[in-house]
Amino acid sequence: MLFNSYEFVFLFFPLTMAGYFICLGAEERLGEGEGSGRLGKMFLFAVSLLFYGWSRPGDLPILIGSMAVNYGLGRRMESLCHKKQVLAAGLFLNLALLACFKYLGGSYPAPLGISFFTFTQIAFLMECYREGIKEVKPLAYGLYVGFFPKIMQGPIALPGEMMGQFEKKGQTVCWERRFRSLYLFVLGMFKKVLIADTLGKAVDFGYTGLSALNSGDGLIVMISYTLQLYFDFSGYCDMAMGIAGMLGFDLPLNFHSPYKAANILEFWKGWHITLTHFFTQYLYIPLGGNRKGRGRTYVNTLVVFFLSGLWHGAGWQFIVWGMMHGILYVITRAFKDWRKGKAGSGQAGGWNRAVHGVCVLLTFLYVNIAWIFFRAPSVKEGLFLIKTIGSFSFGRINWNLAGCFNLDEFWYVIKVLGIDGWQYAHYILMTLILLSLLLLVFFGTDAVSYTKKVKPGWGHTLFMAVLFVWSILSFSGVSSFLYVNF
């Protein structure tokens, strides 16, 4: 089941909200006071399993089996002095399951969200080994892994971020928080349904006919995918955080204006933040982190980015993408280390706004080029698109490519204005949409930061209602989220 579907918006989630708070209320009345919240959390766990198995029931036994094995291993470590063998067995089983479905192929496709619930459980085992958590209750563990807002695409919550929330008593949610959470959900839905899926049409058109593109076409396809991936994935995370917030839970932030980054280090502080935290805690630090000299630090960094690329897919194009980020990350860090040493302490001098702006644009360009390999079916096709863009064979933008941006509701306005007969009218919406989105990612406020400052009122309510209705009316043409298969 997708968040951007009629059955979720009008059936599943309203019933889940009502059922959860009815359970909490019933428990309080029966207990003549504040309840433990157990009944409500049992209800949430049941509907989370229903949500996960809705479209592919065959995936549900795999999830439940994985949860049972990992919970048993975690509890086993609590009673042993020598835990390394149990941890090693748990890591092997989890990674083997992930590899079998994602990389070895087979007749049955990889279960939905397998990477996300596998990483969640690896984090649990690691914290059990480190004694960061003890005596975890089965229900709290089940919700930590299977909580429906995050099970498909994350964010990858670490035990310390979520486990305690599921062990607390019943949740109390003020109306202002519910309003903000609903607002965040609607903004995320709008980002996915109206922005990401519109861009996706242009991206799909471009990648199905690379040989017919000129340099301008290729540039538009490249930028469109960069924007599509951001609005699609961050839109999902906004929706997930909004859903959890309406139920009284907090999910960790996963995106924070990554395209405003002036270098690749800053980019990874704002892009897929929870994946970065996971690799830092459970791969980079165990490898030695930065404790064994600069050379080892740089090698550890490259290992992390190599495995990050491999996690996203088995094709060489994902390895190229990961290593492009890893190499630039090491170069940038080495440069910063060199400057720090030259200055004695801190960084020498300061960058003015113009230099900072150039750095942002160069970082954005590099990230764009790397995303080509993330989207291309192969390294060869990725190189072909880069070569096309670099050939400077500019001309009039492909008519059909520009048409992907011509949403009916906007095209109607162009007709009313009487400019639809102009020879360049077909390109107006493409230009306006891309420029507006670029200005938004460079200068705008991200949805999470924006909604935190929102005060309930008629203006915000009306704006939210317009975006909600507009998104709902566009559901028939939407696609699944890009990260649902990772």
pLDDT digits (tens, 9 = 90+) for 267-304: 999 999 999 999 999 999 998 888 888 889 999 999 99
| 3 within 8 A of 471, measured Cβ to Cβ | no
Domain ranges of the chain: 6-170, 173-262+351-479
Whole-angstrom Cα distance, residue 117 to residue 151? 6
* Residue 426: CB atoms within 10 Å: 18
pLDDT in tens, the chain (486 residues): 888 889 999 999 999 999 998 988 887 777 644 556 788 899 999 999 999 999 889 999 999 999 999 999 998 887 776 788 899 999 999 999 888 887 776 667 888 888 899 999 999 999 988 887 878 889 999 999 999 999 988 899 988 888 888 877 656 678 888 999 999 999 999 999 999 999 999 999 999 999 999 999 999 999 999 999 999 999 999 999 999 999 999 999 999 999 999 999 999 999 999 999 999 999 999 988 888 888 899 999 999 999 999 888 878 999 999 999 999 999 999 998 887 766 544 444 445 788 889 999 999 999 999 999 999 999 999 999 999 999 988 888 998 999 899 887 777 777 777 776 777 888 888 999 999 999 999 999 999 999 999 988 999 999 999 999 989 988 866 666 766 666
Q: Left, alpha or beta for 214 (phi > 0: left; psi -120 to 50: alpha)?
A: beta
| 252 within 8 A of 161, measured Cβ to Cβ | yes
Whole-angstrom Cα distance, residue 131 to residue 171? 27
Ranges of beta strands (E only) in 366-448 are none
- What is the DSSP code (8-state) at residue 346? S
Q: Which residues are catalytic?
A: 312
Whole-angstrom Cα distance, residue 179 to residue 35? 25
Which run of H or of E encompasses 46?
helix 38-53
pLDDT for 484 equals: 64
| 386 within 8 A of 213, measured Cβ to Cβ | no
CA 85 to chain centre: 33
**3-class DSSP state of 377:** coil
User: What is the separation, in whole angstroms, between the first and last Cα of the chain?
Assistant: 16
**3-class DSSP state of 412:** helix
pTM listed for this prediction: 0.91
pLDDT digits (tens, 9 = 90+) for 7-62: 999 999 999 999 998 988 887 777 644 556 788 899 999 999 999 999 889 999 99
Whole-angstrom Cα distance, residue 229 to residue 482? 7
Whole-angstrom Cα distance, residue 27 to residue 44? 14
Give the residue ranges of DSSP H helices in 110-194: 114-129, 138-146, 159-167, 175-190
3-state helix, strand, coil in the chain (%, to 5): 70, 0, 30
CA distances from 428 to 170, 397, 419, 435, 436 (A): 52, 12, 10, 11, 12
CA neighbours closer than 13 Å in the CB half-sphere of residue 187: 23
Q: Which of 69, 27, 30 is nearest to 44 (CA)?
A: 27
Whole-angstrom Cα distance, residue 439 to residue 260? 10
* Residue 210: CB atoms within 10 Å: 18
Whole-angstrom Cα distance, residue 41 to residue 39? 5
172 phi and psi, to 5 degrees?
-115, 120
